[in-house]
Structure 1
């Protein structure tokens, strides 16, 4: 969300794309709440310095046994990181599967491409699509090789898309809660008109019309409250 505010734009094409994405996501009636701590686990997991060169069942069994007798941060981080990435893939795939396929925003198309790339690995496809969430010690090592080795760039792109979905869906939730509406964009107009502007903290506010002319970046709205014959 911070990055979106930092990249404020007057490009009507970009603004329309953002609006279309918000409209698209607003059709999802389910819950979408990503845990910040779990997302941090994913970030930390992907930043690990150890290089992954290959996979073997003996190595997977040895690492699991070693962790059982001598718990260590690296293995725990691997479990949490892989598990959370699989959860995110499941959640977003379930979310977009329930939405329209006719007109997809650019972000959703990018997600489809990421899924297509990751699903070329049969194990990723099987783990994401199955209902059971448990990952075996052998699958963990194989997924680690794929997610943090072979497809690291793809996973980082997926994580960026996840953050964007989370940010735009926050707009959807705010719109539902406060009954917000999206603006009508007109390429020919050189001013901003907002009808029904009111102070959100007043119980019975007066609704006004805000009209910002071209190159004017601020305006003062003053509501006069009368006490007898005197303005307060």
Structure 2
């Protein structure tokens, strides 16, 4: 399989990367270091279609969730190590003479450069000792892939006996001559190894943030199988407080799930929850569901919060058509694409919307590849397709209590004719304003 297909509209629909705290990324971003946040952002932006790579990510998160109760990084110390290792004034060579000379000079007139070297080296050895203790706490047979990488990177650095001594005794006082020698080792001879281990520490910070957030939000690991199906049980939206969980299934025999329901009944939220779960599963992350069983998909396309494109002069309907065309193009290239389309063709007249929706859904149901979750405000389309056994019909109900619509946001099988648009207009007093006495226009 190739790259997982995802576009800007889908990212915006699912609020994956909003800069505000109201994003899915923000739910997981409990990193401590700046480098850890960058590592998490990199992981979060790379959904996978390779089972082995997904398994590697999943096993690392699972290991941290099951075994590491608390992992504390000294943010200031790690940031200083980053600054020290990436300074441009790296030593080009080292000799006993230059080491002694610089040690004497720094004894009589220490400067900022010497302070940076001394502190950077000390902080680095504290960090290496922390990694060594973490690796010692778990035998190699119980390693996660990331812990195994950390163990390997640490081993490459401690091949040099002097570095090994200070990793074993990080509190050992570093003399001025040793500072010069270790500065050469860490920023010249073993510079790549030191940087590689720092990146592994950032990755550890990122993975621990994922594990910590997953435990807090009560997420579960998805199960991947070879069957042509995507099934989520009790999926919920992670950005909503006290969310209502629902179950959705898409199979090789019923690749289209057609959802009906009145405005505000929860269709958009349900579709976003489904999309988020699928996206997180292909990151190798736990998902907001009681259980999820899915084949590995090749991409995700959603159309939920679509706007007019004023700059290009496109209407809402024309943008909808372009989205459907994009889906058709991607379906030709991908066997396993999940398509989520909320309120299909809401931007045109009822007749065109009905005819267009009917033909598009008939076409989707006739495909032997891809999966589709579709809703529409035109319930007549659902009734016209009711005998199509390749479409699964679900609805979110509405009932009136004390003259007001009440929603329980729980998905049921079947089709609903519930509509509350007229009630909303009446409740907002629109008709009274229009039909009442209005001020006389001034000629």
Deviation track 1:121-162 (CA, whole Å, cap 9, x = no partner) reads 112111111262543323322221111111111111111111
1:206 corresponds to which residue?
244
Q: Residues 133 and 192 of structure 1: is their aligned pair in 2 closer, same or farther, counting only changes over 3 Å?
A: farther
Alignment partner for residue 210 of structure 2, among 171, 176, 188? 171
In the alignment, structure 1 segments of 5+ residues that lack a partner are none
Q: Residues 122 and 228 of structure 1: is their aligned pair in 2 closer, same or farther, counting only changes over 3 Å?
A: farther
Within 1, Cα distance between the matches of 2:81 and 2:114? 13
Q: Residues 96 and 25 of structure 1: is their aligned pair in 2 closer, same or farther, counting only changes over 3 Å?
A: farther
Alignment partner for residue 51 of structure 1, among 68, 85, 91? 91
Which one scores higher on RCO, CA 8 angstroms, separation ≥ 6?
1
Alignment partner for residue 115 of structure 1, among 154, 161, 164? 154
Q: Residues 34 and 187 of structure 1: is their aligned pair in 2 closer, same or farther, counting only changes over 3 Å?
A: farther
User: 1:76-95 alignment to 2 at 5 Å?
Assistant: 76-95=115-134
Give the secondary-structure state (helix, strand or coil) at the position aligned to 1:216: strand
User: 1:7-26 alignment to 2 at 5 Å?
Assistant: 7-26=46-65
2:73 corresponds to which residue?
33
In the alignment, structure 2 segments of 5+ residues that lack a partner are 1-39, 256-335, 343-374, 376-395, 407-443
Within 2, Cα distance between the matches of 1:142 and 1:54? 7
Query: Which stretch shows the higher mean deviation, 102-111 or 169-178?
Result: 102-111
Give the TM-score normalised by the residue count of structure 2. 0.46
Q: When you count helix as a share of all residues, which structure comes out higher?
A: 1
2:337 corresponds to which residue?
215
Conservation of the 8 A alpha-carbon contact between 1:12 and 1:187: no
Query: Which stretch shows the higher mean deviation, 142-151 or 77-86?
Result: 77-86
Alignment partner for residue 222 of structure 2, among 169, 183, 187? 183
Deviation track 1:151-206 (CA, whole Å, cap 9, x = no partner) reads 11111111111111111011111123222222222233442525242565434x32
Q: CA RMSD in A?
A: 2.9
Conservation of the 8 A alpha-carbon contact between 2:150 and 2:197: yes
* Counterpart check, 1:128 vs 2:167: yes
Give the TM-score normalised by the residue count of structure 1. 0.82
Within 2, Cα distance between the matches of 1:44 and 1:223? 58
Give the secondary-structure state (helix, strand or coil) at the position aligned to 1:191: strand
Alignment partner for residue 162 of structure 1, among 198, 201, 211? 201
Q: When you count strand as a share of all residues, which structure comes out higher?
A: 2
State the structure with more CA Rg.
2
2:106 corresponds to which residue?
64
Q: Residues 13 and 136 of structure 1: is their aligned pair in 2 closer, same or farther, counting only changes over 3 Å?
A: same
Query: Which stretch shows the higher mean deviation, 52-61 or 172-181?
Result: 52-61
2:29 corresponds to which residue?
none
1:230 corresponds to which residue?
404
Q: Residues 66 and 210 of structure 1: is their aligned pair in 2 closer, same or farther, counting only changes over 3 Å?
A: farther
Conservation of the 8 A alpha-carbon contact between 2:103 and 2:180: no
Q: Residues 225 and 127 of structure 1: is their aligned pair in 2 closer, same or farther, counting only changes over 3 Å?
A: farther
Within 2, Cα distance between the matches of 1:187 and 1:181? 20
